[in-house]
Amino acid sequence: MLPRQPRRRALRRAVSCLRRGGVLAYPTEGVWGLGCDPRQRRAFRKILRLKRRPQKKGVLLITGHQRHTYDYWQRDIPLCLDPAQYWPGTTLVLPARARCPSWIRGRHRGIAMRVSAHPGVCRLSAGFGAAIVSTSANPAGKKPARSLRQVLRYFGGRVTVLPARLGGQRRPSRILDARSGKLLRSG
C-alpha cells in the first residue's frame, strides 16, 4: 500500500526530477497527474509527447501554496471571484501575466491554476518552491490513471514516480473562470 504522504527520500528524488527537466507522475486529489517545471519548455514538450496531446489545449498549474501562483497571474486586474474563497480545491482561470509561458496557456489568454490541499502536492510544491504543471496521467483518449499500476502501464519507466495515495475525490476539480465567474467544468 502506498503511503498517505510521500516519504522524504521520494520527495527529494521528485524535486530533483523537476529541476533537471524531467517528467513526474504524482498523486492529486482524484487522479494521478503528470508534471514538470512550467518554465522548462523541453520538459513540457516531453509531457505532450507522452500524452499525445496538442499544445493548443494548454494545461493547469498546481501548488499547495497560494504564493506560488503569483508569478503566473496578473493580480491587479479586477476579478468576479476572489481566489482566496475558492482555494484550496477549485481550479481557477485567471488573467495570465505577460511573462507566463505561452506553451502552458495554449490557445487561451488566461492561466488555469489550482491550490491543492493534497498532502503530496503540498509537500512537493514546498520542496520545489513553485507551482508545477498538472495534467492527468493518461495518453489522449484513455481514462486518467487512478492507480500507480495504471500509471506504469501507460508510461513505464519514461516518468519518475512520486509514490503516495490519491486524495478521496471521485470527480475532477471544478473549473471556474475567475474573470467572468462562469462555470467551465462542474466538479
pLDDT digits (tens, 9 = 90+) for 88-139: 999 999 999 998 999 999 899 899 999 999 999 999 999 999 999 999 999 9
In a domain, 3, yes or no: no
pLDDT given for residue 18 in this prediction = 98
CATH number, residue 172: 3.90.870.10
Write down the pTM of the prediction. 0.93
Per-residue pLDDT for 187 more than 80? no
What residue has cell string 491543492?
A: 116
Q: Does residue 19 sit within a domain?
A: yes
Q: Are 139 and 50 in contact (CB under 8 A)?
A: yes
Question: pLDDT tens for residues 24-63?
Answer: 999 999 999 999 999 999 999 999 999 998 888 889 999 9
> What are the tens digits of pLDDT across the range 134-176?
999 999 999 999 999 999 999 999 999 999 999 988 877 889 9
From residue 148, give the alpha-carbon distance in Å to each of 17, 32, 136, 170, 173: 18, 8, 13, 16, 20
Residue 42 lies in a domain: yes
For residue 1, is it within any domain?
Answer: no
37 found inside a domain: yes
Does a structural domain hold residue 2?
no
Domain residues for 23?
8-185
How high is the mean pLDDT of the chain? 94
Asked whether residue 176 is domain-assigned, the answer is yes
128 and 18 in contact (C-beta within 8 Å)? yes
Q: Locate 47 and state its grid cell.
A: 509531457
**How many domains in the chain?**
1
Taking alpha carbons only, the member of 47, 43, 51 closest to residue 128 is 43
Q: CA-to-CA distance for 15 and 47, rounded, in angstroms?
A: 17
Question: How far apart (Å, rounded) are the C-alpha atoms in residues 107 and 74?
Answer: 18
Longest dimension (CA), the chain: 46
**Cβ atoms within 10 Å of 179's Cβ, excluding its own:** 17
Residue 80 domain-assigned? yes
